[in-house]
Structure 1
Amino acid sequence: MKYLLLIYMNENAMNDTEREHCYGESTQLAQELHTKGQFLASAPLHPVATATSVRVREGKSLVTDGPFAETREQLGGFYLVNAQDLDEAIAIAARIPGAKVGTVEIRPVLEIAGLPEH
């Protein structure tokens, strides 16, 4: 089953040196997951100040700068993995460096017919 592991943290939780170390650890984790056939995708995101939100109301697109909601922690990146079950997804999430300073939300991916394969 596919799981999306969403990494939330305060954007100021790490200094530049810590962030570079986190990227190194994350890359190593991605390589290990790839070796096991569990890695599908992963990426950090640009700061929340670069976000744009789109809502469609009454047929009109409403575009605003910034994230949808003001929160203490922002979505900072993600992993998309294959895991046998939630327990295995939890074990992977616990290894994500961002879990040490933020929160990793685990969401099972709903697979629907007709979507293109990557």
Structure 2
Amino acid sequence: MRYVILIYSNPESRRLWDAFPAERRREGLEAYAALNEALTASGELIAAEALAGPDTGRRVHVEAGRTTSTDGPFAEVKEVVAGFYLVECDGADRALEIAARVPEAAMGLVEVRPVTALSGFEA
């Protein structure tokens, strides 16, 4: 079964990261590298990406066949998606184990959701 592991950020988590000494930031990045390596080795990793800040996004609107876009972010929110993992694993318990290894899980900023196929479409 596929799961998306969403990693969130907020102003406080951003301030914490920026305040960490270089060694602590390096350890955080190494934790991600180790998780990526382990999931690749186990065959569970489908994709993992960090996302640029919400201020770099564009909102797209189509009306009467005309497409327009405006600068982001899409909505005013306290927390934004900062990155994600897409994994294929044996079930929700395993997805939660993987999510617990994401450094932001210590701050409650990680969410796990099953990926579901759209009705009438093959995934």
Is the TM-score greater than 0.5? yes
Q: 2: distance between equivalents of 1:60 and 1:24? A: 45
| Counterpart in the other structure of 1:8 | 8
Which structure 2 residue ranges, 5 or more long, are not aligned?
none
Partner AA of 2:104 in structure 1? G
| Counterpart in the other structure of 2:98 | 92
Q: 2: distance between equivalents of 1:90 and 1:38? A: 13
Q: 1: distance between equivalents of 2:108 and 2:71? A: 24
* Counterpart pick for 1:72 among 74, 78, 81: 78
Q: How does 1:24-63 map to 2 (within 5 A)?
A: 24-63=30-69
Give percent identity, aligned residues only. 38
| TM-score (normalizing by structure 1) | 0.81
Q: 2: distance between equivalents of 1:4 and 1:40? A: 10
Q: 1: distance between equivalents of 2:59 and 2:26? A: 28
What value does the CA root-mean-square deviation take over the aligned residues? 2.1
Runs of 4+ in 1 over 4 A off after TM superposition: none
Which one has the bigger helix percentage? Answer: 2
